[in-house]
Amino acid sequence: MKKQPITLDTVMTDTGLYRQRHISKPWGYEEVLAITPFYMAKLLFIQHGHMLSMQYHEEKTETLYVLYGKCRAFYGPSADELERRVLNVHSVLHLPPGTVHRLEAIQNTLLVEASTPHPLDVVRLEDRYGRKTQKKGARKR
């Protein structure tokens, strides 16, 4: 018997991780385009003046590509050692596991996020919207 691929609908039904493809966030929204055993793809829309949480992933690797707008990326080995870089249209940023990062929209910004399929692997270190980390036993960096 041929094994069925994992699709967004399967993940939604079997695990409850996603209730819809469009997920509202306090900073804008994310649109899940694909989730497979090998990768995830999302669109992230960040409203001008808004900022994602300062976070890192223990397993997840992600690459960001700016479709339109402009944002400021903060990233590095720890919250105390962050580089700053402005990401314009067609900019690419690769974030290996363990990289502390955050994005701030200078203009309304739309990005593509391609990553490994670890949707719950997020450790929030700081969040202006009061959200807590989604990972139990998160280590401090």
Report which secondary-structure segment, H or E, holds 118. Answer: none
Q: Is-above-0.85 flag for pTM? A: no
Q: Is 132 exposed, middle or buried (0-12, 13-18, 19+ CB in 10 A)?
A: exposed
Residue 26 to residues 14, 51, 55, 100, 125, Cα–Cα distance (Å)? 26, 9, 16, 20, 17
pLDDT for res 125: 96
pLDDT 10s digits, 122-133: 999 999 999 887
pLDDT score at 111: 98
Q: Number of helices (H) and strands (E), helices first, in the chain?
A: 1, 11
Closest CA to 71 of 40, 34, 27: 27
Calculate what percentage of the chain has a pLDDT beyond 90: 71
CATH class label, 22-126? mainly beta
> What residue segments make up the domains of the chain, in order of their start?
22-126
Average pLDDT taken over every residue of the chain = 87
- Cα–Cα distance measured from residue 84 to residue 71, given in angstroms and rounded to the nearest whole number: 10
